[in-house]
Amino acid sequence: MRWVLNILGVLLILTGTVWILQGTGIVPVGGMANQSQWTYIGIILDIVAIAVFIFANRRRKMPPAP
pLDDT of residue 30: 86
pLDDT of residue 12: 95
Instruction: Give the pTM.
Output: 0.82
31 vs 14, which has greater pLDDT? Answer: 14
Domain range summary for the chain, segments of one domain joined by +: 2-56
Question: Are 46 and 11 spatial neighbours (Cβ–Cβ below 8 Å)?
Answer: no
The DSSP line for the chain is -HHHHHHHHHHHHHHHHHHHHHHHTSS--STTTT-HHHHHHHHHHHHHHHHHHHHHTPPPPPPPP-
Question: Are 12 and 49 spatial neighbours (Cβ–Cβ below 8 Å)?
Answer: yes
Q: How many residues belong to the chain? A: 66
